[in-house]
A and B are shown apart, each in its own frame.
Chain A
Amino acid sequence: MSYSKLAAASAIAIAATGVASTAQAEDLTLCWAAWDPANALVELSKEFEAQSGHTMNFEFVPWPNFADRMLNELNSGGKLCDLLIGDSQWIGGGAENGHYVKLNDFFDAEGISMDDFAPATVYAYSTWPKGTPNYYALPAMGDANGWFYRKDWFARDDIKAAYKEATGQDLREPQSQKEMLQIAQFFQGREIDGKTVYGAAIFTERGSEGITMGVTSALYPWGFKYENTPGSYDMAGAVNSPEAVEALEFYKEFYETATPPGYTNSYMGESLDAFKSGQVAMAMNWFAFFPGLYADPATGGDKIDFFVNPPQNIAASTLGGQGISVVSYSDKQDAALEYIKWFAQPDVQAKWWELGGYSAHNSVLQDPGFVDSQPFAGDFLEAMDGVQDFWQEPAYAELLLAMQKRIHDYVVADQGTAQEALDKLIEDWTEVFEDEGKL
């Protein structure tokens, strides 16, 4: 009896080995930006390696070079990446230029439903043309631009009293953009524990996308729109509306009166450095960095708290985050799709959030314990309800560089007026859309 059981078990084992050997183990390469969540993904992917037999390799590129490096790779039909967690704005180019594999049939075959993911993330990270059920990515990493501040400073009686005396108001998490500026100006140049501190770290970087991501965090709450009618490319009156002009003037005032000296070309890294070195009272940055900030021994824990981008005329945040796509030039598309199938599972998504990634899966976001799971979880949910993204057109890089130039010229280089900057931006964007044959 025991011999027959042993024989049967051996037969099953041999058969299983045979089956496993027919599914070829692949070396997959996943490309993404080099930042905290990428490390979490490496940890998470070990489970996939154990389950599938595939080996995961990672190509992480620092943010300032990420777009250059990866878009060059895609444009040249490179086979470096089998899977790419590409920025949300790349989706149009990825789809229209044939860089990404369309995933609809795969989703249907594997029972992966986009209804299981937060609608804002599906819209932003997966669909092209926008809002249509044509999917080129699975929402991988929800993100938005948020804020964090020195909770310990805000709680000090002497600072609270000084703020009350200076403004007549209580020092608290800002409830509007203008209140945030007022708080930042209060801290600017103030002596705290014998050290001069400054108001806030904002994005002013010129080379890639920094100042655009920063200024849109002011433009969107003022009600900025890219077009009068979505899809019409009629920008006059929307891009340069009085609200947009006011928001741009506000961002310039913020830069001039409430940021540390020399803060002329700063993005994510500089914002983190300024905060961790105790230089600023508040800072803007992507939610993706918040787990690391909270864990920081010097300025994290009970010294830090977080808030969603404050509203002004409306509540709105700048969208970050990415979807994961299969690169059409990859020779290992089956294995890459296997990874996406595995990644879409609710239990994997839950672990993703635990490790420091921002899941966009409803099973995670709608879990009753989610809001209390991290001090910034509630803010993240609130932010994702009001996110807006930059153009996602195939010509997004040209549109972005034009905005980088016009905004930096005005805000940092102090050239012209806000109205002129936005008028010129419309001219640049019109030229791009004319070249694209869309105007």
Chain B
Amino acid sequence: MSDRTIDRVAAATPPPVARKIRGLSDRAIAWIFVAPTIFLLLAINIFPLIWTIRLSFTNYRANRLTREPEFIGLRNYERILTDSDIWLNMQATAHFLFWTIFFQVLIGFTLAWLINKKFKGNDLWTTIIVLPMMLSPAVVGNFWKFLYQPQIGLFNYIVSFFTGKDPSSFEMLGQVNLAPWSIVIVDTWMWTPFVMLICLAGLRSIPDYIYEAAEIDRASKLRQFFTITIPMVLPFLMLAVLFRGIENFKMFDLVVQLTGGGPGSVTELTSINLKREAFEKWRTGYASAYAIILFVTVFGLASIYVKALNKVKER
């Protein structure tokens, strides 16, 4: 029996159809299988991207169907890049990104390291720790809104218990200096388990014999940690950072539920601002340019990061 793909496909197909496809080459049949996916990819990803690029050079508004869009060149890009309010949104996003990733990696790795130790109730603790990640961001947002409530919120009472401050003397969601941290805390609470799981996978992938060899060489625990554990978990950790970075760059629901971008605009991340421009102000052309700028930023940063990740893996 022939081992050609076409023959195997024909054998598994009803006779009338088999006769038709038996005349096709392997390459043709491969294209037939791949074509629907390519079509969907083009229709859902590539075409909208090209269309968005085109719209970004116009003053098109999706709520003014009767008004003919005009080509305005780079004006949208110029307005965005010279708008000080947008730079403030970028700063708010950078603050959120940096600190959430920092805390999630720090706490996530520590938790993974602890969970990786064999102790009684290990599985139960793992399940409890990953619970926040299973909740809907909208639910988490509302839930924490109550916790942060200055008069009845548990969070303020806990802080008050440890610091002696009056619980209603500070407002996590309402004060300019605290609100950016309030969203960092909630995102860290929710997504640290994700980082922990990835780190745990990394820790468990390290073969025991490497540690045994190090023990024989009389390497200290600290030395083992820095020369075996960290380097071997690093690719996993970098992957977690990549996932969380991309996710948090487009963070929307959690922050909208918690602060709505306020107070003022101090927690108005770029995704919230973009949504307002596109679907509340209906400046479609402007919002398209904004989206392209964000896309290029994320794509560029992610590309550099992936290259670094590959280098770490090769080591």
Chain A residues in contact with chain B, CB under 8 A?
A: 68, 71-72, 75, 77, 93, 97-98, 205-207, 260-265, 394, 397-398, 401, 405, 408-410, 412-415, 435
Contacts and interface: CB of A to CB of B under 8 A. Distances in A.
Given A75-B63, A97-B65, A413-B265, A265 B260 contact: yes
B262 A71 contact: no
A409 B88 CA distance: 12
A401 B260 CA distance: 13
A262 B264 contact: no
B259 to A, nearest CB: 7
A409 B263 CA distance: 7
A43 to B, nearest CB: 31
A72 B64 CA distance: 12
Contacts of A398: 281-283
A234 to B, nearest CB: 23
B233 interface: no
Contacts of B148: 262
A405 B261 CA distance: 10
A264 B171 contact: yes
Contacts of B280: 68, 397, 401
B174 A412 contact: yes
B171 A206 contact: no
Contact of A261 (B151, B259, B260, B264): B151
Given A413-B263, A415-B264, 6 more contacts: A98-B66, A264-B262, A397-B280, A398-B282, A398-B283, A401-B276
B59 interface: yes
Contacts of B171: 261-262, 264
A398 B63 CA distance: 12
Interface of B: 59, 62-66, 85, 148-151, 168, 171, 173-174, 176, 256, 259-266, 276, 279-283
Contacts of A410: 264
Nearest to A262: B150
Given A397-B282, A412-B174, A435 B265 contact: no
Contacts of B266: 413
B260 A207 contact: yes
A93 B63 contact: yes
13 contacts: A97-B64, A97-B65, A97-B66, A262-B150, A262-B174, A264-B173, A265-B174, A265-B262, A398-B282, A405-B264, A412-B174, A412-B262, A415-B264
Contacts of A415: 176, 264
Nearest to A399: B281
B262 A413 contact: yes
Q: Top 10 nearest A-B pairs by Cβ distance?
A: A413-B264, A264-B174, A409-B264, A206-B262, A262-B150, A75-B63, A207-B260, A413-B263, A261-B150, A412-B263
Contact of B265 (A72, A93, A205, A405): A405
B63 A409 contact: no
B36 to A, nearest CB: 28
A73 to B, nearest CB: 11
B259 A265 contact: yes
Nearest to B275: A68
Contacts of B276: 401
Contacts of B62: 75
A253 B256 CA distance: 27
B176 A414 contact: yes
Contacts of A71: 63
A260 B151 CA distance: 9
B98 to A, nearest CB: 21
Contacts of A413: 176, 262-266
Given A75-B62, A265-B260, A397 B281 contact: yes
B165 to A, nearest CB: 13
A207 B264 CA distance: 10
